[in-house]
Amino acid sequence: MSLDKKQEQAEGLPFLGDASAKSNNGKPPKEKPHKDIRCGFWIFKGSMLQRLATEKLFVVIYGIGGCFLSMSLAYFNGTITTLEKRYKIPTKMSGMIIVGNDISMMITSVLAGYYIHKGHRARWIGFGFFTIFIFCLLTCSLHFIYGAGEDALKLTRQYGDFKNISEYLTTAHKEQKLCMTKESGCVQQDGTWVPPLVLFVGQFVAGIGISLFWTVGIAYMDDNTSKDKTPALLSISAFLRMLGPAIGYSLASVCLRWYIEPNLEPLIKPGDPRWLGAWWLGWLILAVITFIIAFFMFMFPKELPSANARRLELEATGMQDPKEHKDLSISDLLRSIKRLAANKVYMYNTFATSFYLFGYLAYWIFTPKYIETQYRQSASMATMATGTLALGFSAVGVLLSGYIVSKYKPSARAMAAWNATVDFLTVAGILLYVVIGCEGSDQLSSMAISDSCSTSCHCEYVHYAPICSPDNVTYISACHAGCTGSSKTPLGRTMFTGCACLHPTNTTSGSEFQYALDGACPVDCTRQFIVFLVVMCFLKLVGATSKSTNLLISLRCIEPEDKSFALGLGGLIGSLTAFIPGPIFFGWLLDKYCLVWGKTCSNKGNCWLYDTHSLRYAFNLTSGFFILLGGLLNIGVWYHAKDLLIFDEEQKETDKSDGKADSFNLTSKFQVVKVSKETEEL
């Protein structure tokens, strides 16, 4: 017995050397693939682990890993408004922070897709998950460096050792800035540039992991699974990934219900715009889980045993050339780009996806903020609605499309037509968003800003501390309302008097009779919010059904040798045209309609109040325009995809034949691949 055979039997692996030699007319195999199919690394090896190197288990681990990867991104989006309030970050800067992962993806995707295919791809995927672990630690480190912040601590019972809320209000209203004859000093904020920088670096590191997950992970799954299982495995993996955003937003909702310092007792409720939730708790949970996923991914071999056996048999029968790993040059890279640029289906589909993503990223990132500003919901409620409810419909859409594609095997043209239909339906839903406004929210935004009356009170650097007038109009602060005095009501609320800048309707003339109470006026947007949720859930369901069909077209329309590189180039194009400019543009658009800034000495801080009516029109119509362009390009995909093959039609007859060996099935499949260069394995 040879040494190789003894070693493989000791590890519980089938000995492939003799079989491959016999099937190759007695000639020795050209390579020893058994060295690449051993499961485990370092001291984590053994015969027990070898049984785990299966296609199904990889898809499950890969899908779960994708779930937590997307979960971390969704968690960041769900807590972004809290981060803006805590660290005085404008929305435009938030958009620039978010594109950090897209910049690194742009750099990594092409290089990874072109060069890593000859390395140990499973371990590269594991390294990608380790970068997500670093991203989680970097993000939550801000809380341990800067703490909750004085603004948040002032709103707790323990601050100043107050015994009850009445005592706090008695002292707090004295600190409330009233109408001042002299200009107040600006608000000092320590290290205002450090938190955005740390958040950007964390996003940049995360982008490396995302790129490796997509470009290397999909190619590894593609090469190590049989073509018959493609739609089902793709659907399972996508379904597990789709659970990530829903769980991520739900985790954000739960964490934001806790005060930023859970061991302190807040004096305000979560519905108060000044509420800061415990945004940092979720990152600790995500860090632990992503580290475990990275460890398991390192366990998988360079090539799964089942895929290795299929490849050796095909090489032995001459149906597939042996794999050759050669150094790839710049000229090879340019030739691959030229081939893909001449592929009309690939280019139309790629740019259709880019336009769709540019428009839809606005909702993916800023939906919680949109719900908070338009429908006056708490940060916890906004993230819960965006995650658990809406993205649950996305998961159903992915499973439904996977089932339909697997069962009915639609043509490439049918898939492209459906993708275009989804885009047009999305535009129709966005037009409904425009008309789903809340009158109370619009009134709050339009009347909260006093006219030139408050300019003489020097309120530029006054903290956001809303008060409510008898006419149910919310003002930014007592200073902006021109109030000159304050007192405490029998119920413990602070009443501000002498408010000269209130809009008089039925009030008696004379500022001494104009008063307001602390806290924002109640606004009921529940009905409009529910209607918005219904439309959003429908769009999530419909939009998710095009994910599998879009990816199938992308992979089937390219040459086998360009598969990994095409995924990387698609990531590059998506980053340049959508993922990088999209968040920055829509962040700028949101800031453009800001009415109240929380200014500090170093910057204008975060936005406290928006012009909701104008913002609703600008935000939705702009998004709808770009998604419409994507739909028009999908018509081009439909036109050029008439000869594109998605499935092996001959495989149906092969599956029905009796007594056929698996090698015949594989041979038949690869014959179709060799005849039609446009048909690609997934």
pLDDT digits (tens, 9 = 90+) for 307-344: 667 767 666 676 555 555 455 567 777 888 888 888 89
- Of the candidates 318, 344, 376, which is a domain's last residue? 318
Q: Are residues 558 and 514 in the same domain?
A: no
Q: Which helix (H) or strand (E) holds 518?
A: strand 515-518
Q: Is residue 633 part of a domain?
A: yes
Per-position b or e across 652-678, b if 16+ CB within 10 A of its CB: eebeeeeeeeebebbbbbbebbeeeeb
Q: Are residues 230 and 250 in the same domain?
A: yes
Q: Are residues 64 and 155 in the same domain?
A: yes
Q: Are residues 452 and 426 in the same domain?
A: no
Q: Are residues 222 and 119 in the same domain?
A: yes
Rounded (5°) CA angle 66-70-76: 150
Per-residue DSSP letter, 41 = B
Rg (CA), the chain: 29
Contact 450/482 with Cβ under 8 angstroms?
yes
Q: What is the pLDDT of residues 408-433, one digit of tens each?
A: 888 889 999 999 999 999 999 999 99
* Lowest-confidence pick of 53-57, 174-178, 274-278, 588-592: 174-178
**pLDDT band at residue 224, thresholds of 50, 70 and 90?**
confident
| CA distance to 369, 408, 445, per residue, from 421 (Å) | 28, 19, 36
Q: Is residue 654 part of a domain?
A: no
Q: Which pLDDT does position 117 carry in this prediction?
A: 62
Put simply, whether the predicted model's pTM sits higher than 0.95 gets the answer no
* Parent domain of 627: 55-167+193-300+329-438+525-647
Q: Are residues 255 and 220 in the same domain?
A: yes
Q: How many domains in the chain?
A: 3
**3-state secondary structure (DSSP) of residue 343:** coil
Q: Are residues 403 and 547 in the same domain?
A: yes
Q: Which pLDDT does position 449 carry in this prediction?
A: 56
Q: Are residues 514 and 643 in the same domain?
A: no
Average pLDDT, the chain: 77
